[in-house]
């Protein structure tokens, strides 16, 4: 179990009272339905629909960086992890400008600098992963020329061909890393919640596996709603839409689907994590939305746009797809036989 850094000393004005809601699924399982439902409340701040905020859980994101700084510290790993996150920030800047605006780069640089104890001139083999093609050509050209030079003019194999390149050094402890990360995340959330509403929503900010790890990055009250969906519909929808994330072979799909669920939120705090089915949001709408309201502490008086963003009468067409697409009957039969425990049981 991960320890939680003390955050009582972190000051954000009134923003420490802000409550964070995170909607997450397993890909194509319908977590956007909860995201849409929450848009009907006037005391909840959200970003543009359909824009995922994955910088905590994405490869080379915050969690990866923590692993290399705290769990697997090394003079190369730790400093290079900062560079990798720096690269991530630039690579996905367009997406995060939609969520956090132009402050994304500035606050991210401020965060990276806060974790960097010092920099020095130099680089190692890992830096070559992020070289431009021109830099790579220059490197191999210099190496080739050096091999052709007379022995007395040759430089050693350790020669620095990129004297302006710098290496970062980081020796942050777990508590230091968490405090700086919480500060960074809270500043980003404040951008979304510029009107200082009671709640702010993030889409896909954590992984459905090991949720406790990610909740450590938030200050105050953060809760996660995990949405799952009948595997038959997930499979058929992906085939119809020509998706590229899950396998097309039904048995391979079953392996992936089962693997994710076997590693999900089994040890998570029920006061922090709520699991709902996409189908329940449709066929048991009143009961399920009441459960969500109770879990988050929402009041119906703040719901100003009833069924404007999520209407079960519309979303019902995305259920029982196997009844409309008989051409998948063979694959559906295999799914029903191999993973019956994951099927949604309709009344």
Is the CB of residue 20 less than 8 Å from the CB of residue 255? Answer: no
Closest to 78 (Cα-Cα) out of 167, 158, 206, 160: 167
Could you report the per-residue pLDDT of 287-334, keeping only the tens digit for each? 999 999 999 999 999 998 889 999 999 999 999 999 999 999 999 999
Domain spans, the chain: 18-43+202-347, 123-164
pLDDT > 70: what percent of the chain?
94
pLDDT at 16: 52
Only one residue has tokens 């401020």, namely 110
Could you report the per-residue pLDDT of 218-251, keeping only the tens digit for each? 998 999 999 999 999 999 999 999 888 889 999 9
pLDDT at 12: 35
Closest to 40 (Cα-Cα) out of 328, 217, 299: 299
Phi, psi of 267 (to 5 degrees): -110, 15
CB-based contacts of 71-79 (< 8 A; 24+ apart in sequence): 73/171, 75/169, 76/124, 76/126, 78/169, 78/170, 78/171, 79/116, 79/167, 79/168, 79/169, 79/170
Could you report the per-residue pLDDT of 164-223, keeping only the tens digit for each? 788 898 999 999 999 999 999 999 999 999 999 999 999 999 999 889 999 999 998 999
Could you report the per-residue pLDDT of 116-147, keeping only the tens digit for each? 999 888 877 777 777 888 988 988 899 899 99
CATH for the stretch 18-43+202-347: 3.40.50.300
């Amino acid at each position: 179990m991960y320890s939680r850094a003390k955050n009582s000393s972190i000051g954000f004005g009134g923003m420490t009272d802000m409550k964070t809601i995170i909607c997450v699924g397993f890909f194509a399982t319908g977590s956007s339905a909860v995201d849409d439902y929450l848009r009907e409340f006037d005391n909840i701040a959200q970003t543009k629909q359909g824009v995922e905020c994955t910088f905590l859980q994405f490869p080379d994101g915050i969690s990866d960086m923590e692993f290399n700084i705290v769990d697997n510290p090394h003079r190369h790993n730790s400093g290079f992890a900062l560079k990798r996150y720096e690269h991530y920030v630039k690579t996905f800047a367009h997406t995060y400008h939609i969520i956090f605006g132009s402050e994304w780069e500035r606050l991210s640089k401020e965060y990276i600098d806060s974790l960097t104890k010092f920099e020095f001139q130099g680089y190692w083999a890992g830096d070559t992963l992020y070289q431009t093609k021109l830099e790579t050509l220059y490197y191999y050209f210099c190496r080739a020329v050096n091999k052709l030079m007379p022995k007395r003019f040759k430089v050693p194999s350790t020669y620095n061909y990129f004297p302006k390149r710098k290496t970062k050094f980081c020796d942050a402890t777990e508590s230091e890393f968490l405090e700086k990360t919480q500060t960074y995340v809270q500043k980003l959330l404040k951008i979304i919640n510029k009107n200082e509403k009671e709640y702010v929503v993030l889409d896909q900010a954590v992984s459905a596996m090991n949720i406790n790890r990610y909740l450590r990055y938030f200050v105050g009250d953060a809760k996660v709603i995990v949405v799952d969906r009948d595997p038959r519909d997930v499979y058929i929808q992906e085939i119809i839409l020509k998706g590229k994330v899950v396998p097309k072979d039904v048995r391979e799909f079953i392996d992936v689907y089962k693997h994710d669920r076997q590693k999900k939120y089994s040890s998570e705090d029920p006061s922090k994590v709520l699991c709902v089915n996409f189908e329940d949001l449709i066929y048991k709408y009143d009961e399920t939305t009441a459960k969500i309201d109770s879990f988050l502490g929402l009041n119906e008086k703040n719901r100003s746009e009833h069924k404007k963003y999520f209407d079960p009468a519309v979303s019902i067409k995305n259920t029982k797809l196997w009844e409309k697409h008989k051409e998948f009957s063979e694959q559906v039969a295999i799914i029903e036989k191999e993973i019956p425990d994951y099927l949604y049981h309709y009344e």
